[in-house]
């Protein structure tokens, strides 16, 4: 008994201070890929190796349009590996949660040189209009979350479980997970929505009292990820339910999940998820 007390006292606080302070992130962690559109000489190799087509190119009238979709990105880093000009690099940025699916998409237009390389013309990204809902007043003090695995590989589930451990301790914010959707304010959905889970997901959402929030977790929840849309999966969560916040990643780390959840309830501001 005394040994346990001594260990507890000497260990002190294990909980990380994020989001009040910057988290300690491993050098090996891969977060958002960064694209220097002006320096990018050829996007085709990166588009060719991208396993989810998060990078795509389209050529017409002597021009090339490159589209980057972080909602499809699984942060594998292959685009950076094949970009010899150094225009693509992997960062450790994980605060990518956004209220708008369109904010995860950026485009760049190029003129095509005779040798097939490209010359930058312009870039842009689109952001949805403000929803204008007073969610901070409604959910600012406590939040009950019902989590549904609609067909994931369980990678996101492991990170969600970590939210409840002493290191991340999401309950210090008054946020806790509940077993019944009838007690829930937020629906946290992982994985592409499989056709076997579509009806269960709809019924779970219908059982939640108003007002309610929906958060799509990971590349699969946002876009279908590597599974996409096929005979077994409907695809992204927003094809089935209205989504309030998207949290990119494959899987998103616990701090990214926490940032997205707090963004959904208006406790943190959007940091900007565009490439």
Whole-angstrom distance, CA of residue 73 vs CA of residue 248: 8
Q: What CATH number does residue 178 fall under?
A: 3.40.50.12280
Which residue range(s) make up the domain with 243? 135-264
Q: What is the pLDDT of residue 138?
A: 59
Q: What is the pLDDT of residue 23?
A: 84
Do residue 68 and residue 184 come from a single domain? no
Q: What is the pLDDT of residue 73?
A: 94
Give domain status of residue 236, yes or no.
yes
Give domain status of residue 271, yes or no.
no
pTM (2 d.p.): 0.88
Q: What is the pLDDT of residue 233?
A: 94
Q: What is the pLDDT of residue 141?
A: 67
Q: What is the pLDDT of residue 14?
A: 75
Which residues in the chain show pLDDT less than 50? 128-133
Q: What is the pLDDT of residue 66?
A: 96
Q: What is the pLDDT of residue 124?
A: 86
What is the chain's percent helix, strand, coil content, to nearest 5? 25, 25, 50
Do residue 158 and residue 72 come from a single domain? no
Q: Distance from CA of residue 30 to its chain's centroid?
A: 13
Do residue 156 and residue 243 come from a single domain? yes
Q: What is the pLDDT of residue 132?
A: 41
């Amino acid at each position: 008994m005394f040994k346990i007390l001594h260990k507890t006292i000497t260990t002190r606080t294990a909980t990380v201070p994020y989001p009040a302070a910057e988290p300690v992130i491993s050098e090996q962690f891969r977060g958002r890929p960064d694209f220097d559109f002006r320096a990018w000489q050829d996007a085709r190799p990166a588009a060719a190796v991208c396993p989810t087509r998060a990078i795509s190119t389209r050529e017409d009238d002597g021009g090339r349009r490159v589209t980057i979709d972080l909602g499809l990105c699984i942060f594998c880093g292959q685009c950076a590996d094949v970009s010899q000009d150094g225009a693509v690099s992997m960062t450790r940025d994980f605060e990518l949660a956004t209220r708008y699916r369109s904010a995860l998409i950026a485009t760049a237009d190029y003129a095509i040189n005779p040798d097939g390389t490209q010359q930058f013309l312009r870039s842009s990204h689109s952001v949805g209009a403000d929803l204008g809902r007073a969610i901070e007043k409604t959910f600012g003090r406590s939040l009950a979350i019902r989590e549904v695995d609609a067909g994931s590989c369980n990678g996101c589930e492991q990170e969600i479980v970590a939210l409840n451990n002493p290191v991340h301790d999401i309950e210090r914010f008054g946020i806790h997970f509940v077993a019944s959707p009838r007690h829930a304010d937020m629906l946290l959905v992982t994985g592409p929505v499989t056709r076997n889970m579509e009806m269960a997901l709809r019924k779970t959402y219908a059982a939640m009292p108003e007002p309610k929030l929906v958060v799509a977790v990971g590349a699969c929840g946002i876009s279908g990820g590597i599974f996409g849309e096929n005979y077994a999966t409907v695809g992204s969560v927003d094809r089935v339910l209205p989504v309030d916040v998207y949290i990119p990643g494959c899987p998103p780390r616990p701090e990214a999940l926490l940032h997205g959840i707090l963004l959904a309830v208006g406790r943190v501001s959007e940091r900007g998820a565009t490439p």
